[in-house]
Amino acid sequence: MSDTLESPERIARGRELLTRLRDGMARVILGQGELCDLTAIALAARGHVLLEGLPGLGKTELVKALAALLGLSFRRVQFTPDLMPSDVTGGPVLQERDGRRVFEFEPGPLFAHCVLADEINRASPKTQAALLEAMQERRVTVLGESHPLPEPFFVLATQNPIELEGTYPLPEAQLDRFLFKVEVPSVGEEVLAAILTSRRRGTPPAVERALSEAELRELFALVDAVFLPDAVVRYIARLVAATHPARPGCPERIRAWIRHGASPRAAIALGESARAAALLAGRPSVDFDDVQRVARAAIGHRLVLEHAARLDGVGAGEVVAALVDAVDLVGVRLPGALR
């Protein structure tokens, strides 16, 4: 078998592994196909995910199911206003060693492969900031000593909409660490009926492991092998650059909506997640459609909107959709583009 992803067998293998993971989540969370797709894509791209939605929509169950499907160590942290940073990262504990008292580091719940930060925006900004180094560097530094986190390491956080009382909006530096922010919508009548008939007292079905440790490593390697063509690279660069109102490539209509554009991490997130999206679609290389599929989840939470956008009833998702419509695929002006 070829060492490149051009081999049909390798493409089929990657798609089969990702589909197995996606389908496992879909059996637990009914009627949320797009949510399961994006979560599987983010995990294959080795990124963190922020799930936003009202209570009771299954966000926590999705994360628990994901950890079980992968057979990874799992810890849940319930974020509350009185939670301290050391409650998350761990800290020094006084121990007796050879007749002497010494401080030794006691790992906190962050030291797991899959960490559920439940209702992350209910904790104070100080405690939220405890995750910054962990999410970016995959390590925790306490009293000048760094402690590596397990590999792989994923933070999957849930968040109630900031309009609800008792919440603290996540700062931009924290949001930027998340590969995706995915809105969890409510479900319709048919899905509610299915939940009532198949989920007594809301208990989800038992979850069996879908991927072994070796298969998860194989999936990561297959995603890495997906080819990112230069034309798509340039498109990603134009798309992210167009989020900055001072840049000439920013469409005129959109310029009035954006105060601060997306960081370079947005371009990295688009490239890596588009690779996983291409593999889920059974393609050996990234297409423009793969970038557009993940654009809202990868860019929207990295934009700081002007007050004018809110007055116009325009959210981050609508801004990203307008950007996708306006930014040229191949670097030339398209008919009807918003300029």
More confident site: 94 or 211 = 211
Tens of pLDDT along 93-142?
Answer: 888 777 788 888 899 999 999 999 999 999 888 888 889 999 999 999 88
79 pLDDT tier (thresholds 50, 70, 90): very high
- Torsion sign across C-alpha atoms 35, 298, 163, 254: negative
pLDDT of residue 334: 37
Q: How many other CB atoms sit within 10 Å of the CB of residue 6?
A: 12
Residue 336 has pLDDT above 60, yes or no: no
Residue 335 has pLDDT above 60, yes or no: no
The conformation of residue 200, written as its DSSP 8-state character, comes to G
Residue 2 has pLDDT above 50, yes or no: no
Amino acid at 245: P
Boundaries of every domain in the chain: 1-225, 226-333
Amino acid at 71: G
More confident site: 25 or 247 = 25
Average pLDDT in the 186-191 region? 90
Average pLDDT in the 251-261 region? 88
CATH code for the structural domain at 1-225: 3.40.50.300
332 pLDDT tier (thresholds 50, 70, 90): very low
Tens of pLDDT along 30-60?
Answer: 999 999 999 999 999 999 999 998 888 888 8
163 pLDDT tier (thresholds 50, 70, 90): low
Phi and psi at residue 285, to the nearest 5°: -140, 160
Compute CA distances 274 → 38, 223, 294, 295, whole Å: 11, 9, 7, 9
Model confidence pTM above 0.75: yes
Average pLDDT in the 279-283 region? 95
Q: CATH topology for 226-333?
A: Helicase, Ruva Protein; domain 3 (1.10.8)
For residue 115, give the H/E element and its range. strand 114-118
